[in-house]
Amino acid sequence: MSRFHWPEAIDIGPLTVLTGAERGKYPHGNSVLVEGTRETILVDPSLTVAERGCPVDVDRVILSHVHEDHIPGLTRLPDTPVYCHALDAQGLHSLDGLMEIYGMPADIEADFRAEVVEDFYYAPRPDVQTFTGGDKFDLGNVTIKVLHAPGHTRGHSIFLIPEAKAVYLGDIELTGFGPYYGDAWSSLIDFEKSLELCREIDAENFITFHHKWVITGRADFLDQLDNFEKVINNREEKMLNFLKKPRTLEDCVAHRFVYRSHVELAFADSVERRCAEQHLNRMVRDGRVRSVENKQFISV
């Protein structure tokens, strides 16, 4: 049983996972409290935190990255210092800055702006302070070390807590959906490098923001990381098969390689386009695909 009044909280030494509603399924997520002898830090204040409140007073908030579902709980902590990676800070400076991170088409951005404010309680935090990879937060007998792990966003970071033999992975979430690199500030190549970084982490407890809660044991983590990364290869294999006939980028968008055909999301085509562009560019560079007339591509 947790020392906090929080349904299904998970204690791991000096940290507590504040599990999100519906196992942290979007739009919810799993926040983390880390307690030292001098201060307490909250990591990624979720929508569940926004709805329930934080169970203890916190001295600082740190963010793995600036996306709408990782910041709703800030509405409960308007005067608490907040930190994120320098490369993501503009997302807290203004709503315009956040929208630039996503890079949505204008025809859907207006509705998403309203959703971020109304459903995720977005309010600018121009007072945001920044960190970079390698920085440490000393809480007193407990340390949080920042590891820059871009790809999902430019500033996406993961947090190592050695005293708990734990690492918080943010949106390297190890789900069957696979890595998400479908925004303007996302990068397939950087995401793959970050997955390699994760393989080198010496920990026993692996915490994700969505779904998984805590994976215990490095062997199990590496197995799940392998399956997560394989989704990238599966997407490319399906694209190569689809490109046995000449196809345009928009053909790839319509076919869908990220979302299933029945999924109805306003931004689905935008995500498919951004992901397909990255895969096509790579496969053209390495010779698996070539461009042909009429802006089409074909497998080699």
Q: pLDDT over 90 for what percent of the chain?
A: 95
Q: pLDDT over 70 for what percent of the chain?
A: 99
- Find out whether 159 and 146 touch, Cβ atoms under 8 Å: yes
pLDDT confidence bin for 265, thresholds 50/70/90: confident
DSSP structure class, residue 251:
H
* 51-64 average pLDDT score: 97
Residue 77 C-alpha from the chain's centroid: 22
Please report, in angstroms and rounded to a whole number, the separation of the first and last CA atoms in the chain: 58
Q: Which range, of 185-189, 266-270, 277-281, averages the lowest pLDDT?
A: 266-270
Sheet strands (E) in 125-278 = 129-131, 136-138, 143-148, 157-161, 166-168, 205-207, 214-216, 247-248
DSSP structure class, residue 180:
-
- Find out whether 212 and 169 touch, Cβ atoms under 8 Å: no
- The CATH number that domain 10-228 falls under is 3.60.15.10
Cα–Cα distances in angstroms (integers) from residue 176 to residues 102, 226, 294, in the given order: 22, 11, 35
Rounded to whole angstroms, the Cα distance separating 153 from 69 reads 13
Which bin fits 44, alpha (ψ -120 to 50), beta or left (φ > 0)? left
The tens digit of pLDDT for each residue in 147-181 reads 999 999 999 999 999 999 999 999 999 999 999 99
Q: Which range, of 1-15, 78-92, 228-242, 254-268, averages the lowest pLDDT?
A: 1-15
3-state DSSP helix/strand/coil percent for the chain, to nearest 5?
40, 20, 45
Q: Which range, of 53-67, 188-202, 237-251, 261-275, averages the lowest pLDDT?
A: 261-275
CA-CA-CA-CA dihedral for 124, 129, 131, 137, to nearest 10: -120
The tens digit of pLDDT for each residue in 201-239 reads 999 999 999 998 999 999 999 999 999 999 999 999 999
pLDDT confidence of residue 2: 61
Rounded to whole angstroms, the Cα distance separating 61 from 81 reads 6
Residue 61: both structure tokens together: 């908030």
Chain length of the chain:
300
What global pTM score does this model have?
A: 0.96
Amino acid identity at 109: E
Query: What ranges do the domains of the chain cover?
Result: 10-228, 243-299
Amino acid identity at 276: A
pLDDT confidence bin for 4, thresholds 50/70/90: confident
Does the pLDDT at position 66 exceed 60? yes
- Find out whether 171 and 150 touch, Cβ atoms under 8 Å: no
pLDDT confidence bin for 7, thresholds 50/70/90: confident
On average, the pLDDT of the chain sits at: 97
Of the candidates 94, 89, 277, 110, the one whose C-alpha atom is nearest the C-alpha of residue 182 is 277
